[in-house]
Amino acid sequence: MSGAGRLHGLREDLREGVGSYLRRALAWRWRLVDPARLWLLAALCLSLLPHLGRLPWLLILPAMLLLAWRLAFELRLARLPTRGLRWLLVGLALAATLGSYQTVLGRQAGVALLVIMLCLKLMEMQRPRDVAVVIGLNYFVVITVFLFDQSLLMGAYMLLVVILITTALVALSRPGSERPPWADLRYALVLLAQAAPLALLLFVLFPRIDGPLWHLPEEAAGASTGLSDSMSPGNISRLGDDDAVAFRVQFDGPLPPPGQRYWRALALTHFDGRRWSNPDSAPHQRPPARNLDLQVNGTAVDYTLTLEPHQRRWLFALDMPVSLPRQSSLSPDFELLAREPVASVQQYRLRSFPDYRLQAQQAPDAARYGQLPAAAAPRARLLAARLWAESADAADYVQRVLALFRQQPFYYTRRPPHLADDPVDGFLFDTRRGYCEHYASAFSVLMRAAGVPARVMTGYLGGETNPLGDYFMVRQSDAHAWVEVWLQGRGWVRVDPTAVIPPARVEVDARGADGLRIPGLDALAGSGWAQAVWRRAGFAWDNLNHYWNQWVVGYDRDSQATLLQALGLGDLDAQGLAAVLFTALGGVLGVLAWRVFRRGGLRRDPVALAYARFCAKLGRRGLARGPAEGAEQFSRRLRAARPDLAPQVILVTRLYQHLRYARHPPRDGLQRLQAAVRRFHP
C-alpha cells in the first residue's frame, strides 16, 4: 500500500472512530437526561411556536435560545449562567419588553413578559419544585395562546402540548425509576382520557358569568380584519378578496329574501372630501340613542349570530334589529356597539324586522346629516341642483339619481382606477368605475348637496347558505356599503346605489369573487367535479368550524341557558344547578373510581397474569409461593416437593424468566407460556 493510501486509510479510521465516539457519547447523554425535563422542554418549545409571529423577534428569539441553552445543559454540553449573568439577562428581558410595548401590562406585553421570564426561569431550574413551577406556568402559556387564536386547528395542536406538559408532570413524580420513555406518556394519556368526561360536565354545567370582571384596556387594532371605521373610496384601488368568514347565522325560520340580507354595522356621517367617518370618534364614546322612534310591521326574523373576533366593538344585525344583545348599546345611528372589543368568538340572539319605519316623526339634525365640505365635489353639486330642480320631492329625487346610475355607463369593478383629484367628481364624471364604496359615497354627496339628509352605512350584504350545516355564512368579501336617506313621512330609508348597476356592467375578475353576489354569477365561476369537491370540502370544514365556534369557543351564558332549557333544566336556579353539577360530577367520579380502584385497574401485564395463574393453581394444592420467593427459588422447591411436575414447572419458569428478564424475549413466548399454564394441572 502506498503512503498516501495508508494516510487515507488512517484518516478514514479516525473519522470512523470520532463518529462512533460522538454517537456513543450522545447516546450516553440522552440516557442521562431526566425525562421530566426533556418532556418539559419539548412541551415548552411547542407551546411557544404559535407565539412566533405574534411576539417581537427581540423577545421570542432569546426565549428560544434560552430553551436551547437549557437543553445543552441537560445534555452536559453547557453550563448554566452565573447568578450575575442571570440578573443581567432578566434586566435585558425587561428592557426588551418595555422597548417593544412601552409597558409590561396589557395582553400582548403581559404574554411576552410571561414567555421570556419563563424561559429565564429555565436558567435556574434545579430542584423538582422549580421544574413543577415551570410546568404549571407552561399550562398558563397555553391559555395565552388562546387569547389570540381559538381555531379548531389551534385547539387540536394545543391539546397535544397539554399532553406533553402532563407527561412531564407524570415523569417528575417518578424520579430515578427505570422505565421506557413512553410509559409516562401512556400514563398521561390515561389520566387525560379519564379527565375528559369530568371536564365536559364542568364545561357544560359550570355557571358562566359575563366578563369582564374588570375593564380591559383598549388594544391597538392589530389583527383586525374586515370593516374599518372609516371609508376612503378612491384611495384603495383594489378590494381585498378575503374569503374568511366574518360571522355565521342560524335563522329560526326561513331565510329572508336576498334583497333584505343587509347586515348593518356602522354609520359614517362625516365627509371631509375624501374620507367618510363618524365624528363621534371612537365607537365606545358614542352616546346612546335617545330617539328610539322605530315602528315595525310584518313578521319578525329571529336568528342566532356567531361572530368571529374582529377586535372592534361593533356588532352586526339584519336591518333592522329590535333587540339588543347583552352588554351592548344602541348608538343614535342605530349601530349595535359592544361594551368591549370583540376579542373572541361571540354568540348572540337577535330579532329583526325587515319592514320598519325609523324616526319618521322628527326631521334629523341637518348639520350632521347634511354636512359637506365647501370645496368638495363642485361638479356634483351642479348636477344635484339640476336634478333637484326637476324632481317633485325628495323621493322622486332619489329615484332620479338612481336612474342616473342605471342608465349612464357606470361599471362595477373591484379594481377601480385611482382617483387623484376630487374623488366624487372624478368617479361621477370621469372614470365611472368603482365598487360599493364609490357608489355609496357619490350617492350620499348628491343627496346632501340637494339637502336630503343622508348617511353612509357599512356592513355586509348577502352571504351563502352552508348546505351541510343549515346555516348562513357571511364572509369578509361580502363587506358592503350603502346609503340611508331620510324622507319626510317615511323616516330613514335604505338605498343601495350599487344594486342598480345592471349585471352586464359588472366586471368579474379571474377568481369570480364578487362583493355583489348576483344570483347566477356563481355558476360562471366554477366548473368541473374537482372544483365541486373542493367546494363541498370547504363547506364541510366550515360546518365543523361553525360547530366548534358555537359549542366550544362561543359557549357562554346564553348558550348554556338554551342548552339547559333543552335538557329540561331551564327552571333551575343557581343552587339547583350547583346541585345538578355536583351530583353529575360525583356520579362520573364514582364510575371512574370504580374503574381505577378495581383489581387490575390499569393495563394488566399478561406475562405476570399467566404466571400468577400458575402460582394460584399450585396454591390450591398447598404449594403457595412465598411473598419474597423468586421464581427460580420457587421452582427448585416445587421440583423437590413434586418431582412429577418437574418438566412443566421448569418450562413455565423458564418461559416466564425469558419473557421477564431476557434482553430479546422470544416472540411467541407469551403464547407458549399461556398455553403451558393452561395445560398445567397439578
Partner 1 sequence: MGLSLAQRFRPARFLRGEGPEAGPLTLRARRVFILPTRRGLVFAGLLLSMLVGAINYNVGLGFSLTFLLAALLLVAMLHTYRNLLRLRVELGPLAPVFCGQQPRLPVIVGDTGHAAHYAIALRLPGEAAVSADVPADGWARLELPYRAERRGRHALPPITLETRFPLGLYRAWAHAHFAAQLLVYPRPAAPTPLPGRREHAAGTGGTHGRGTVDFAGLRDYRHGDSPRHVHWKASARGQGLVTKQFDGERSEGLWLDWAATRGGVEARLSLLTRWVLEADAEGLRYGLRLPTEVLAPAAGPAQRRRCLRALALYGETGA
Active centre residues (catalytic): 436, 480, 496
Q: Binding segment for partner 1 among 187-195, 221-229, 277-285, 466-474 (CB under 8 A)?
A: 187-195
Q: Of 247 and 492, which CB lies nearer to partner 1 in the complex structure? A: 247
Residue 213 touching partner 1 (CB under 8 A):
yes
Is-contact 635 653, C-beta < 8 A? yes
Q: Which is nearer to partner 1, 107 or 654 (CB)?
A: 107
564 binds partner 1, rule: CB under 8 A: no
DSSP state for residue 231 in the 8-state scheme: B
Q: Which range touches partner 1 (CB under 8 A), out of 82-90, 225-233, 314-322, 551-559?
A: 551-559
Amino acid of residue 90:
V
- The nearest distance, CB 379 to partner 1, in angstroms, is 50
Sheet-wide strand order for 336-338: 314-315, 336-338, 328-330
Amino acid of residue 149: D
**Residue count of the chain:** 682
Q: How far is the CB of 596 from partner 1 (least distance, A)?
A: 5
Residues 655, 610 contacting (CB under 8 angstroms): no
Of the residues 14, 105, 143, 646, which one makes contact with partner 1 according to CB under 8 A = 143
Judged by CB, which is closer to partner 1: 241, or 629?
Answer: 629
Contact status: 105 vs partner 1 (CB under 8 A)? no
Q: Which of 478, 554, 656, 676 binds partner 1 (CB under 8 A)?
A: 554
User: Binding partner 1 by CB under 8 A: which of 5, 102, 214, 568?
Assistant: 214
Which amino acid is residue 667, in one-letter code? Answer: R
| Sites for partner 1 among residues 576-595 (CB under 8 A) | 585, 589, 592-593
Residue 533 in grid coordinates: 369537491
| 132 contributes a contact to partner 1 by CB under 8 A | yes
Q: Cell for 168?
A: 412531564
Q: Which is nearer to partner 1, 344 or 476 (CB)?
A: 344
Question: Does the protein bind partner 1 through residue 158 (CB under 8 A)?
Answer: yes
- Alpha-carbon distance 499 to 487, whole Å? 20
Of 152 and 513, which CB lies nearer to partner 1 in the complex structure? 152
Is residue 680 near partner 1 by the rule CB under 8 A? no
Closest distance of CB 196 from partner 1, Å: 7
- State in Å, rounded, how far the first CA of the chain is from the last one: 71
Q: Does 177 bind partner 1 (CB under 8 A)?
A: yes
Q: Does 659 bind partner 1 (CB under 8 A)?
A: no
What gap in Å lies between CA 309 and CA 107, rounded to an integer? 15
Candidate list 191, 506, 563, 623; residue touching partner 1; CB under 8 A = 191
48 makes contact with partner 1 (CB under 8 A): no
Specify the residue, 23 or 179, whose C-beta has the smaller distance to partner 1. Answer: 179
Q: Which residue in this structure is represented by grid cell 503512503?
A: 3
* 160 binding partner 1? (CB under 8 A): no
- Given the C-alpha cell 333592522, which residue does it identify? 320
The sheet with strand 294-297 has its strands ordered as 294-297, 355-358, 491-495, 479-487, 454-461, 262-268, 317-318
Q: Counting contacts by CB under 8 A, is residue 107 touching partner 1?
A: yes
Contact residue for partner 1 among 194, 225, 260, 391 (CB under 8 A): 194
Cell of 199: 371536564
**Element spanning 443, H or E:** helix 436-449
b/e per residue, 519-543, with b = 16+ CB within 10 A?
eeeeeeeeeeeeeeeeeeeebeebb
Name which of 62 and 309 has its Cβ closer to partner 1: 309
Site for partner 1 in 600-619 (CB under 8 A): 600-602, 604-605, 608-609, 611-612
Min separation Cβ 242 and partner 1, Å: 23
Q: Is 43 in the site for partner 1 (CB under 8 A)?
A: no
- Count residues binding partner 1 (CB under 8 A): 74
- Piece of 338-346, 469-477, 525-533, 536-544 that binds partner 1 (CB under 8 A): 338-346
By CB under 8 A, tell whether 547 contacts partner 1: no
CB 458 within 8 A of CB 481: yes
Chain-centroid distance of CA 448 in Å reads 43
* Separation CA 388–CA 61 (nearest Å): 65
Extract the C-alpha cell encoding 30: 440522552
The Cα diameter of the chain in Å comes to 125
Nearer to partner 1, 166 or 635 (CB): 166
How far apart (Å, rounded) are the C-alpha atoms in residues 643 and 373?
115
Instruction: With residue 5 as reference, give the H or E element that holds it.
Output: helix 3-32
65 binds partner 1 (CB under 8 A): no
